[in-house]
Amino acid sequence: MTALRRHRKLSAIWASEPGWKGWTSSVNHTDLGRMFLVTAFFFFLVGGLLAMLIRAQLATPDSAFVDAGAFAQFFTMHGTIMMFLFAIPTFEGLAIYNLLREHPEPVTVNILGIAASAASVIAMAGDEVRIARAGFLMIHNTWIGAAGDRHGLREVADWLEPFDATAVEIYAARTGIATADLAMMLDRETWIGGQSAIDQGFADTLLPADMLDTADEAGTASMRAERKFDLLAARAGLTNSARRELLQDLKTGKPGAAGNDTPGAVDVEQGLSELLQSFKSFGKENP
């Protein structure tokens, strides 16, 4: 058997099946490489389009290009695509950071899950940065894929150094941490939890829902009771407006400890506790 015939037989053995079945079950490395390239290119285009919409919103006077809800959706979709389905280039991260810093209105950044890599730089653009108690920041040195000999790779390392220095300056401007210490944090790829991010100055406060545990004692008890009431009322089938109405009636219908018509925190907590017990009893009697 000639080499050419052997090659053709092997190609036939490893060839993918035609149609969609072949694309979903292929083990041929050539086909898999093509699929990865096509998928990455598609999400690169989608992410680029979303980035253009974000920039148009920030560049438009009074940010009137789209409404606030649509902008939040574009921003979230862009971050998800670039972080998980492609990669967010350093230049794009810096461009978004600069656009947010130039925005005439106050910018609030909410970190709901993870702000990693260039997303952590973007987060520093906020006038107020709020992070979930279970949220994280991840900072590290700039990454790149490179090939070549030692001279070429050394040149690439030198080329990346200014990007790392820029990131350090941005983090230092917000946190006040020494640049040498921040450079060490980037060197070892540092993960920073919610409360730690606040303590170190990367964030200003926790998200409102996570601030329940840090409020004053009386306020905390009242807020927790309100949240429990809201959850149980929802399970009991009450609409959102009905729940708010009941809660408002409770707050305004009980006299406060100060002798006026404003209920005190203790009154609210006690009333909510009574309502909670009623809902629990209702749940047991009507499983």
Domains in the chain: boundaries: 27-86, 88-209, 215-285
Q: How far apart are CA 81 and CA 77, in angstroms?
A: 6
CATH architecture entry for 88-209: Alpha-Beta Complex (3.90)
The band of 259, judged by pLDDT with boundaries at 50, 70 and 90, is: very low
CA separation for the pair 110, 98 (Å, rounded): 18
pLDDT on residue 162 = 92
Average pLDDT taken over every residue of the chain: 76
Range of weakest confidence among 3-17, 63-77, 192-206: 3-17
* Tokens standing for residue 108: 């609030």
- Rounded distance, CA 63 to CA 161, Å? 35
Output the pLDDT for position 164. 92
Over residues 50-80, the pLDDT tens digits come to 888 887 887 777 777 888 788 878 877 877 7
Backbone angles phi, psi at 82, to 5 degrees: -70, -30
What average pLDDT does range 146-155 have in this prediction?
85
**For range 105-126, the mean pLDDT:** 89
User: Is the pLDDT reported for residue 177 higher than 80?
Assistant: yes
What is the pLDDT at residue 153? 87
User: Model confidence at 252, in pLDDT bands (50, 70, 90)?
Assistant: low
pLDDT at 234 over 70: no
Which pLDDT band, with edges at 50, 70 and 90, does 178 fall under? very high
Question: Residue 258 has what pLDDT?
Answer: 42
Total-model pTM = 0.55
Task: Return the percent helix, strand and coil in the chain, to nearest 5.
Answer: 65, 5, 25
In the predicted structure, residue 221 carries a pLDDT above the cut 80: no
| pLDDT score for 186 | 95
Out of 181-185, 187-191, 234-238, least confident range: 234-238
Q: For position 275, what pLDDT does the model report?
A: 61
Sequence-distant contacts of 265-274: CB under 8 A, at least 24 apart: 265/218, 265/219, 265/221, 265/222, 266/218, 268/222, 268/225, 268/226, 269/218, 269/221, 269/222, 269/225, 272/222, 272/225, 272/226, 272/228, 272/229, 273/225
